């Protein structure tokens, strides 16, 4: 079964909305490597409609311009791009298609397709939420920025079902950004302060 990885830029207070407005001052070689290695190792991108439309507006022009970011633009262009949308779309960016049918069923079928490369997601917050709840997301990469934004869409706003996660790795960049990688975890189960206090430091 193929693995799905998702990556999000997130503020210290959990905001994931409009990262282009606040995250660029923190984008350095470390972050570029973290993003590039995950996206570059995938031959398929799974994107929500809004994220796809933003990408389709920007990346083909960057590839054509041949600038410093043309290489990454070419990677995006060459990848198979599958868009989650409730309405029909007209595609002008090569290798783009709409995900058909029920999200959970269609993504399960996608994961079961032949292939060894990962399926990568970028942004697409509502789709990430749904796949986390359905247990279909294999890795969640959060690039946590040292800034509090106070307002804006948060990754886990509005949910009712607990989503246990297990930390795989944590890496701090010189900018103060922390790259956290999570995988689905096991439910922790009920507990009480009586059980937890056994782990408090003992007075001397």
* Burial of 148 from C-beta contacts in 10 A (0-12 / 13-18 / 19+): exposed
Q: Determine, yes or no, domain membership for 197.
A: no
Q: Determine, yes or no, domain membership for 195.
A: no
Domain carrying residue 49: 4-186
The answer to pTM > 0.85 is: yes
d(CA 133, CA 106): 15
The pLDDT, as a whole number, for residue 137 is: 97
Name the 3-class secondary structure at 106: helix
**89: CB partners within 8 A, 6+ apart:** 49, 83, 98
The pLDDT, as a whole number, for residue 84 is: 97
Q: Determine, yes or no, domain membership for 204.
A: no
Closest by Cα among 153, 152, 124 to 140: 124
Q: Determine, yes or no, domain membership for 201.
A: no
**5: CB partners within 8 A, 6+ apart:** 38, 42, 118, 119, 120, 121, 137, 138, 139, 140, 141
The pLDDT, as a whole number, for residue 164 is: 93
Number of domains in the chain: 1
Q: Determine, yes or no, domain membership for 194.
A: no
Report yes or no: 42 and 5 within 8 Å, Cβ to Cβ.
Answer: yes
The pLDDT, as a whole number, for residue 114 is: 92
Give the residue ranges of the chain where pLDDT is below 70. Answer: 204
The pLDDT, as a whole number, for residue 115 is: 86
User: What is the tens place of the pLDDT at every residue in 97-138?
Assistant: 999 999 999 999 999 999 889 999 999 999 999 999 999 999
The pLDDT, as a whole number, for residue 167 is: 97
Q: Determine, yes or no, domain membership for 37.
A: yes
The pLDDT, as a whole number, for residue 41 is: 87
CATH assignment of the domain containing 68: 3.40.430.10
Q: Determine, yes or no, domain membership for 44.
A: yes
Q: Determine, yes or no, domain membership for 202.
A: no
pLDDT above 90: percentage of residues in the chain: 83
């Amino acid at each position: 079964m193929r693995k799905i990885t998702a990556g999000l830029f997130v503020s210290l207070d959990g905001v994931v909305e409009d990262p282009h407005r606040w995250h660029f001052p923190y984008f350095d070689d470390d972050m570029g490597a973290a993003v590039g290695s995950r996206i570059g190792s995938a031959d398929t991108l799974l994107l929500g409609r809004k994220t796809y439309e933003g990408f389709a507006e920007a990346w083909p022009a960057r590839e054509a311009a041949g600038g410093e970011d043309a290489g990454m633009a070419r990677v995006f262009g060459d990848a198979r791009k599958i868009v989650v949308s409730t309405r029909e779309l007209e595609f002008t960016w090569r290798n783009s298609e709409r995900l058909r049918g029920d999200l959970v069923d269609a993504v399960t079928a996608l994961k079961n397709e032949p292939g060894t490369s990962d399926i990568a997601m970028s942004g697409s917050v509502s789709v990430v939420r749904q796949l986390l709840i359905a247990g279909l997301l294999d890795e969640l990469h959060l690039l946590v920025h040292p800034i509090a934004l106070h307002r804006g869409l948060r990754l886990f706003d509005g949910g009712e079902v607990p989503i246990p996660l297990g930390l795989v790795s944590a890496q701090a960049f010189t900018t103060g950004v922390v790259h956290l990688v999570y995988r689905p975890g096991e439910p922790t189960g009920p507990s009480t302060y009586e059980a937890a206090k056994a782990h408090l430091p003992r007075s001397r």
